[in-house]
Amino acid sequence: MTFLTSWRAASDERFRLLADSFALPVWISGTDKRCTYFNKPWLDFTGNSLETELGDGWADGVHAADRQQCIEAYTSAFDRHEPFVLEYRLRRHDGEFRWVLENVAPLFDSEGSFAGYFGTCHDVTDFRQADVERRIATDRLRLAMESSKSVGWDWDLRTNRDTWFGDLSTIFGMSATIHVGHVDDFRRRVHPDDRGLVWKAVKESMENRTPYAAEFRIQWPNGTVRWVSARGQFYYSAGGDPERMLGIAVDITERKDAEETLRHKERELTETQRLAGVGGWQWDTETDTVTWSEGLYLIAGRDPRLPAVSYRDHVQLYTSDSWNRLQRAVDRALRTGDPYRLDLELVRGDGTHRWVTARGEAVRDAAGRITGLRGTVLDVTERKLAEEALSSVSRRLIEAQEADRARIARDLHDDIGQRLAAMAMTLEHMTGLLPDSASTALRCLNELQQQTAEVTADVQALSHDLHSSRLRHLGVVVAMRGFCEELSAQKHVTITFGHQSVPASVPPDVSLCLFRVLQEALHNAVRHSQARHFVVNLRGNGNALDLSVRDEGIGFDVDAASRGPGLGLTSMKERLKLVGGELCIHSQSSRGTIVAARAQVRRP
């Protein structure tokens, strides 16, 4: 106690000066439990002057929850003769508990006897509160980054130490929420195909002092790939050297997957439209901006690298009549919102014409106001050509039927009729001769008999041309052989007929089809080929019947004949189509012609 008292007397002023110079609260206590405080901050706790000694007041001011901790710290320091640091709550004179940080050292005299404690004390309540707030802010940031699948980074360029924090699990496949390593750790995790892009963007940002931005892939050790969108900023020293880079990366894998799915669907749609001959378009009336799909560029024969043709220039895309009809439909759609559907004649970029079906409908904004139109264009040229061909066939069929009727009527009137009239006149003449001359009458009767036989044969041939009873009752082989024999005798030509493996039962429609093809082919050959010998062959071939008619005549131009006014070739083709068959004609000048027809005998 004598040591402490004399030491105090000599040192109080020095402690006061020390405390003032460091702005620290300093205190000293002895074995008599008397405490002396130096520096003004303690007035906040004691409410007294610097000279006042508190005695046992300090222990009463320690928070009850921290009192045992304080006693153990002082006791341990005494036992170990070592200084210690202690943080606890101390009641201020106004009753509020404040957190204080003490640095305490036990005092011993020259003989080793305990003399008291010496220490400094600092109010750290504000620091602790700031630390709590910092931890709360850190937790908020971590939760926000995890919920948004984000990772932040802090790159120290002087040491190349790189700190990552946030949702490391989603982006890097790491279980921790913070990682401290080297910047090369990050470099290795960037997808090999993207590393050049990433470091080029980093270098440009650092050199140009501009914000860093990049989208790239992260590859996990197990091969998993994640997409991220990164944004960052460099910070520089007073001398202008880059020292630090801060940034954040957001996981955009789902967005990238959705974009890839959308691109895949768009490619499928484009291919489907191409195959179907369909194109799409949209027109914003406020800006007169027209957007075309790839399919529409293809239909219109325009360069897809060029802008779509504006509406006011659509006049160049259609014939005059089609453009006028389209204008009326568009005006009505913009006025009433009614959709339209039109068949239009399109003028392609190369000047050729195509037929299209154009559909359009109104586009409205949230308020229901019409802001433009959208629609599709379908190439229907082939359909149009087919319709025209069908119409032409129907027309030519009717004309042919009328021609056949006229021919029959003409044959009956001009030939058979006149011959029958001649027979009648001969009979009348013979009637007058009978009483006078029996020999003359006999000669006339012979002539009449011969004429009657010829007329009968012609009528029979004409009847068979129009309808063959043999075909219905005796089958296709007998009917064809009979026709060849009759035509050969009538036209004084040679027709050789052969058959192999023909089924015993052939569907009536197939029999009739092949019989009509034979009639048409032989009539054409006899009439035009200038040949005198013809070969006909009918052969079974699995589920089909093959008919061939061959001659060694002068031949003809098949394409020109198909485009000509005659209906023979078209009639044969159309008949065969009805029974699932096909027609093939080979003809060369001076080398003859082969007409080959195939019809299905058993069809699904």
pLDDT category of residue 604 using cuts at 50, 70 and 90: very low
Q: What letter would DSSP give residue 465?
A: H
Predicted confidence at residue 160, as pLDDT, reads: 92
The CATH architecture assigned to 138-251 reads 2-Layer Sandwich (3.30)
Contact 251, 228 (CB under 8 A): yes
Statement: residue 318 has pLDDT above 70: yes
The tens digit of pLDDT for each residue in 386-406 reads 767 765 665 566 456 556 655
The model's pTM is: 0.39
Q: Is pLDDT of 434 > 60?
A: no
Domain 467-600 carries which CATH code?
A: 3.30.565.10
Instruction: Give the per-residue pLDDT at 130.
Output: 76
By the 8 A CB rule, do 321 and 345 touch? yes
Which pLDDT value is given to residue 437? 57
The residue extents of the domains of the chain are 2-123, 138-251, 275-379, 381-466, 467-600
Res. 506: pLDDT tops 80: yes
Percent of the chain with pLDDT over 90: 28
Q: Which residues contact 276 (CB under 8 A, 6 or more apart)?
A: 378
SS3 readout for 403-425:
HHHHHHHHHHHHHHHHHHHHHHH
Check residues 445 and 282 and name the one with the higher pLDDT: 282
- How many helices (H) and strands (E) the chain has is answered by 19, 21
- Report pLDDT digits (tens) over 267-297: 776 676 666 678 888 999 888 888 888 888 8
Residue 490 banded pLDDT, cuts 50, 70, 90: confident
β partners of residue 162: 155, 181
Query: What is the DSSP code string of 142-200?
Result: HHHHHHTTEEEEEEETTTTEEEEEE-HHHHH--S-SEEEEEHHHHHHHB-TTTHHHHHH
Q: How confident is the model at residue 161 (pLDDT cuts 50, 70, 90)?
A: very high
Tell me: the pLDDT tens digits for 295-307?
888 888 888 888 8
Range scoring the smallest mean pLDDT among 91-105, 312-326, 491-505: 91-105
2-123, CATH topology level: Beta-Lactamase (3.30.450)
Higher pLDDT among residues 30 and 319, named by residue = 319
What phi and psi values does residue 307 have, to the nearest 5 degrees?
-60, 155
pLDDT exceeds 70 at position 98: yes
Question: Average pLDDT in the 256-261 region?
Answer: 88
Q: What share of the chain is helix, strand, coil (3-state, %, to 5)?
A: 50, 30, 25
C-alpha–C-alpha distance, residues 40 and 28, integer Å:
15
- Percentage, residues of the chain above pLDDT 70: 72
Question: Comparing 275-379 with 467-600, is the CATH topology the same?
Answer: no
pLDDT at 370: 92
**What mean pLDDT do residues 96-121 have?**
82
Q: pLDDT tens digits, residue range 36-58?
A: 444 444 445 544 443 343 444 56
Residue 232 pLDDT class (50, 70, 90 cuts): very high
Res. 364: pLDDT tops 60: yes
> What mean pLDDT value characterizes the chain?
79
Lowest mean pLDDT among 151-165, 221-235, 436-450, 534-548: 436-450
Residue 232 or residue 460, greater confidence: 232
Q: Do 599 and 584 touch, CB atoms closer than 8 A? A: no
Choose between 378 and 268: higher pLDDT: 378
Using left for φ > 0, alpha for ψ between -120 and 50, and beta otherwise, residue 597 falls in: beta
Q: Which two tokens stand for residue 550?
A: 């061959």
CATH architecture of 275-379: 2-Layer Sandwich (3.30)
Query: According to the model, what pLDDT value does residue 60 have?
Result: 76
pLDDT value at residue 332: 93
